[in-house]
Amino acid sequence: MQDFTAAFRAALDLVFRMDADLMEIVGLSLLVSGAAVTLACVIGFPLGAALGAGRFAGRMPLLVLVNAAMGLPPVVVGLTLYLLLSRAGPLGPLDLLYTPTAMILAQTVLVTPIVAAITAQIVADLSEEYRDLFATMGMRRTAQAATLMWDGRFALTTAVLAGAGRALAEVGAVVIVGGNIDHVTRVMTTAIALETSRGALELALGLGLILLTLSLGINAALMGVRAAARRLSDG
Amino acid sequence: MVEPDRLIRLAHTRPTLTQHPPVRIADLYLQRGGQYILRDITANLGLSDVTAIMGPNGAGKTQLLRLIAGLGQPDSGTIKFAWPDAPEKHRIALVFQRPVLLRRSALANLTHALAQYGVTRTRRTARAMELLDFGGLTDRANIPARALSGGEQQRLTLVRALGAAPDLLLLDEPTSNLDPRSTAAIEALIQRATAQGVRVILVTHDIGQARRLAKDILFLQDGQVAEHSPAPQFFDTPTSAQAAAYLRGELYL
Amino acid sequence: MIRLALLLTLTAAPVFAQDHILIQSTTSTQNSGLYDHLLPLFQAETGIEPRVVAVGTGQAIRNATNCDGDVLLVHSRAAEDAFVSAGYGTQRHDVMFNDFIIIGPETITADSPAAALTSIAQAELPFLSRGDDSGTHSREMALWNTADIDPTGASGGWYRETGAGMGATLNIAAGMGAYTLTDRATWLTFANPADLVISYEGHADLNNQYGVIAVSPQHCPSVNAIGAQTFVDWITGTSGQQAIAAYRLNGAPLFTPNAAE
């Protein structure tokens, strides 16, 4: 119990001092994970819509693949990306290893299957309900997809939240491709891992509490927006 | 109230329909899981304002209506449409037994449908408001469609279908889940639509409704046409044993 | 906002950022806080921003072999020499040293670290190995070799391979009351020692020498060769050596500089 009290105190202390290093780390975490989730949505929404409502050869295998990819181990993603981005690797000339861009890429790979799979499920359920209506209206596939995505918009926030949770919480991928370089690629989770290895368990746990609070705040905000919007436009 | 001719675009003058049936079904068969759901259906429909398709559960009424609507293909046989003055151009709208509404306001459901029907963006809202007015739903415009009452939802799907300016309106038991007041409102809407020249094919279980609305009755039993007669003859002197038993409220096995 | 803009710029155009060097190094030097003390001085004097990736020596050498680093600062002499003789590095220089210690629940009286390990093995006391090809791990294996014991046969029994960094291994040792080999700097700065003490220390076999190598521009044309050489010159020169000597914890030095003149 003493450890938890100390952790709580460490967290409060960091927050109330507006510790510059902490602010930088939190900022980078939000930047990296935010960018990754945004990219994942740009890819995952259309992919999920196609998988959920599309009719094309290879749809089922692809759906199985995307569902399985939700469980991709971050370490494997990090290692694969490391081998690609390493100066000795095929993408070496881009010189992206140990940059926030590499971290964004890694998290995008992790989050995209989650967004796509949840989107596919939501769109498939809605598509089932709307299929005959769409057919009688003679709607094109693209118009159908747009309608399904718009009508599923509240449910789709779940996809975004699940993706954001994964991105903010993972450490295995970003520590490999980011390198946990101070002031360059250090984020909340890699900082927690570092403090743990230093034996500074209270500080590590304190950082963990801050991460948890951030995550809670993001979830509460998005769900609040969803509830308010839903009251205005859907029964 | 909107002028009828503004509401429903119907360019076709009334031809002599007995000579030019707009819906011609010939030798139609439909199979599901090795069993025939529809067998040897041959009928000319749309000869009167309102044709009712009747018959006991499982007779194939809804399946026939869906084939007419283009939802699915028969295993054999044909369904041909021919409006005398525009044989290729015709519009069909279908209203389902259970309303399918988008997760949007009543108004947005209509503007969405109008967009699909090719109404330009600038005219959609005004047109949608006309349709809401036609359905007596003006004050429900901004309410989420799925939060409306059952009767209101069905009126909304009906005016949405009319928004397509259809030549042929297909209704699949549109009032089966509704109370009498809502049923009366729907029937009034159907009559106002037919008054403007829309042809209606109505699947119904409600003998009273068929008496009130239909001019001719297509009676199905076990996927086959048991009888197709003008309404007064059907109700007074049915020629088929199946229809006679149905009208008496007996089970024909 | 400025920092965000800066980050985005860094993110977008790292290719042209030759004003920084990437140091592949060990966790012990980072965890001990040495870099927090040393690197700001280096940057102030040279204007080059040093960036440290702290991993095990094995992984650091592997990363540098892949050209993912400009400078290598590690502590595994044999691996360092192999790196240079393979043409991956220009030249190896001594930088500093401290020593390894065996920590555990009790002190051990022995003539040599090999003898201390022998007594652990004979009593089958719990012993944690890094098992990760790090500098500390390779030293541990060398000590077992001296003692003529192959502990890996008991892996999973009293001998446990964590496959983790020094800090993580120390946390496990503290949790289960096990013995392990660690460098002194990491131990002194480790904040979670629980009931563990220094079991054995002070023997020539426990000397822990750190070396620095600039990655060869012949092997890796993409390296910041000038920056790397600047760092090597600085850390083996007067400024760097004095800075290392000045880094103390509770008055005791953690590393002793010993670069050749």
Mean pLDDT of B81-104: 79
Per-residue pLDDT of chain C (261 residues; tens, 9 = 90+): 444 444 444 444 443 346 899 999 998 888 888 999 999 999 999 999 999 999 988 899 999 999 999 999 999 999 999 999 999 999 999 999 999 999 999 999 999 999 999 999 999 999 999 988 888 999 999 999 999 999 998 888 999 999 888 888 999 999 999 999 999 999 998 988 889 999 999 999 999 999 999 999 999 999 999 999 999 999 999 999 999 999 998 888 899 999 986
Give the A:B interface size as CB pairs under 8 Å.
49
Q: What is the pLDDT of residue B149?
A: 94
Q: CB C53 to CB A179 under 8 A?
A: yes
Residue C145, token pair as written in the block: 């070799």
| Residue B16 clears pLDDT 80, i.e. is over it | no
Smallest CA–CA distance, residue A32 to chain B, in Å, is: 34
Q: Which chains touch A (3 or more CB pairs under 8 A)?
A: B, C
What CATH number is associated with residue A198? Answer: 1.10.3720.10
Residue B6, token pair as written in the block: 């503004």
Q: What is the pLDDT of residue A226?
A: 84
Report phi then psi at A77, rounded to 5: -60, -45
Q: What is the pLDDT of residues A99-144, one digit of tens each?
A: 999 999 999 999 999 999 999 999 999 999 999 999 888 888 889 9
CATH topology for C99-206 is D-Maltodextrin-Binding Protein; domain 2 (3.40.190)
Report the predicted TM-score, pTM, of the whole model to 2 decimal places. 0.84
CA torsion sign for A229, A232, A234, B1 is negative
| Residue B244 clears pLDDT 50, i.e. is over it | yes
| Residue B7 clears pLDDT 80, i.e. is over it | no
Q: Do domains C20-98+209-257 and C99-206 have the same CATH topology?
A: yes
Q: Tokens 């992790």 belong to which residue?
A: A110
The distance of Cα C191 from the centroid of its chain, to the nearest Å, equals 18
The answer, for A129 touching chain B at a CB cutoff of 8 Å, is yes
Q: Which chains touch C (3 or more CB pairs under 8 A)?
A: A
Q: Domain-by-domain residue ranges, chain C?
A: 20-98+209-257, 99-206
Mean pLDDT of A83-111: 94
Residue scoring higher pLDDT (C41 or A10)? C41
Helices (DSSP H) in C56-209: which residue ranges? Answer: 57-65, 77-85, 113-123, 135-147, 166-176, 184-189
Q: What is the pLDDT of residue C251?
A: 87
Q: Does domain C20-98+209-257 have CATH number 3.40.190.10?
A: yes
Q: Give CA separation, A171 vs A11, A127, A160, A180, A200, in Å.
A: 20, 36, 19, 10, 18
| Residue B89 clears pLDDT 80, i.e. is over it | no
The ipTM, to two decimals, is 0.83
Q: Does domain B4-248 have CATH number 3.30.70.3040?
A: no
Q: Domain-by-domain residue ranges, chain B?
A: 4-248
Q: What is the pLDDT of residues B128-156, one digit of tens each?
A: 999 999 999 999 999 999 999 999 999 99
The domain of A174 spans: 2-233
Q: Which chain A positions have a beta carbon within 8 Å of C7's beta carbon?
A: 27-28, 31, 100
Residue B223: pLDDT band (50, 70, 90) is: very high
Q: CB A196 to CB C171 under 8 A?
A: yes
Q: Which chain C positions have a beta carbon within 8 Å of A94's beta carbon?
A: 15
Q: How close are the terminal C-alpha atoms of chain B, in Å?
A: 50
| Number of independent structural domains in chain A | 1
Q: What is the C-alpha to C-alpha distance for residues B188 and C242, in angstroms, rounded to an integer?
A: 98
Mean pLDDT of B20-47: 90
Q: What is the pLDDT of residue A2?
A: 63
Long-range contact pairs involving A220-225 (C-beta distance under 8 Å, separation at least 24): A222/A157, A222/A160, A222/A161, A223/A157, A223/A161, A225/A157
